[in-house]
Structure 1
Amino acid sequence: MTEPGLRARKKQQTRDSISQQATLLFLERGFDKVTIAEVAAAADVAKMTVTNYFPRKEDLALDLGPVFVEQLARTVRERAPGESALAALRRAYLAAAAGRDQVVGFSGPAFAQLIADSPALVARLREFHEEREAALARALAAETAAAPTDIAPRVAAAQLAGVHRVLFDETVRRTLAGESDEDIAAALTGYIAEAFGALAPALDRYAVRPG
């Protein structure tokens, strides 16, 4: 993989700095009480710079949104020969839970509470879930060469994304209840087996990558 150029690295550093400063302010004072101007001042950039990187204030807190939205589609596109979409997503979720990945909900109690306390952030997260399902449906349609009128990719995406949403919500619920990441990950292992197992009769042989 080609290393990013200096300009790209600087842009990413600026983006990361803005997001980090915003998160610190949000955790300290609450999402709704912090302005874009205050974030800009904390990050030592112009207000316009903040909005160029983050057109929506909610995305300052949920800065992993683009990764979240593409997560399932990318996993399907990168699945191994002979592996179904279901098997690839189950494998990836088990790895994410073992790695305490933020993208599947391991954000820590303070951040989880920040989101729960803000209707705007809750709404934005809901949008991300919907966008992720749509991205997965497009990937499944492409991988199975489905016709535009074929509803199967959308039905499969709704089921697979729905399982991910249930598991994500369970992780956040347990985090807010004060459970440790270790205990949550252990519980998730069983839930992942149960949730994906429930889909196996319908999807175990769907979107299998040719070997």
Structure 2
Amino acid sequence: MTEETEGRGSRERVADQALTLRERKKRETRQRISDEATMLFVARGFDQVTVVEVAKAAHVSTMTVFNHFPRKEDLFLDRIPEAVELFTAAVRNRPAGESPLAALRALLLQLLDQRHPLAAVSDDFPHFWRIVLDSPALRARAREGVEEVEKALEDAIAETVTGGDGPGPRLAAALTVAAYRAVYVTTAQRLLAGERAADVADDHRSRVHGAFDVLERALLATR
């Protein structure tokens, strides 16, 4: 290895480390903004808080807030991009021979085991959705988020199944999202009514299995 090559390799390693540091700082800033926004929304309600107030609480500029969150609603519903990424990655990265539905079933059960916010099974959950239910803007953005997940899932299925240019991927994506939304909403309603997460978790798991059993029978050809 020449000195030039060694120097270039050293510079590339330094650049990689610097990029990692920048990305880490960006994630930390994004999380701080989201955390401060959530505290303000919980305390005062979504519609009563401005982006300027969020920026001030997070010690950043308003422009920085919008660099991380294109819309005010995304400050609170900040897991829509994560949902898109998780659902599509489960389909695209599934083992050979595994159907998209099997991969998505496994993902949703994993999220439940992790008590991930996208699984809805948490004692903190009612506080979140009460804020959403009280805000027409958040309810509208939540519906848009469901549509974004559905479209991204349709694309992922179309890319990874034989004959993916037909109506199958669209139908599979729509029915999968609708089925999980039904499971999710039922769990949400029970938690909002005062039940504890520990008391609904097993039923949530059973309803995930039941929903996907039905989907697999209905969409047997979508593989």
Same fold (TM over 0.5): yes
1:69 to 66, 74, 84: 84
For the Cα contact (< 8 Å) 2:84–2:149, is it kept in 1?
A: yes
1:119 corresponds to: 136
2:98 corresponds to: 83
Deviation at 1:44, TM superposition (A): 0.7
137-146 vs 24-33, which moves further: 137-146
1:194 corresponds to: 210
2:65 corresponds to: 50
Distance 1:194 1:55 in 2: 37
Is 1:102 aligned to 2:111, yes or no?
A: no
Code of the residue aligned with 2:149 in structure 1: it is R
2:146 corresponds to: 129
Q: Any gaps of 5 or more consecutive residues in structure 2?
A: 1-15
Aligned residues: 205
2:155 corresponds to: 138
Distance 1:115 1:85 in 2: 30
TM norm structure 1: 0.90
Question: What secondary structure, in the 3-state scheme, does the structure 1 residue paired with 2:60 have?
Answer: coil
157-166 vs 198-207, which moves further: 198-207
1:37 corresponds to: 52
Query: What's the Cα RMSD here?
Result: 1.7
2:176 to 147, 160, 166: 160
Q: What is the aligned-residue identity percentage?
A: 44
For the Cα contact (< 8 Å) 1:71–1:132, is it kept in 2?
A: no
Deviation at 1:145, TM superposition (A): 4.5
For the Cα contact (< 8 Å) 1:112–1:175, is it kept in 2?
A: no
Distance 2:204 2:159 in 1: 30
Distance 1:97 1:131 in 2: 22
For the Cα contact (< 8 Å) 1:167–1:192, is it kept in 2?
A: yes
For the Cα contact (< 8 Å) 2:157–2:164, is it kept in 1?
A: no
Deviation at 1:61, TM superposition (A): 0.4
Distance 2:217 2:40 in 1: 47
Deviations 1:23-55 (A, max 9, x none): 000000000000011101100111111111112
Distance 1:104 1:116 in 2: 18
TM norm structure 2: 0.86
Distance 1:46 1:59 in 2: 17
Q: Which has the higher helix share?
A: 2
Deviations 1:47-85 (A, max 9, x none): 111111112000000111101123222111121222111
For the Cα contact (< 8 Å) 2:55–2:62, is it kept in 1?
A: yes
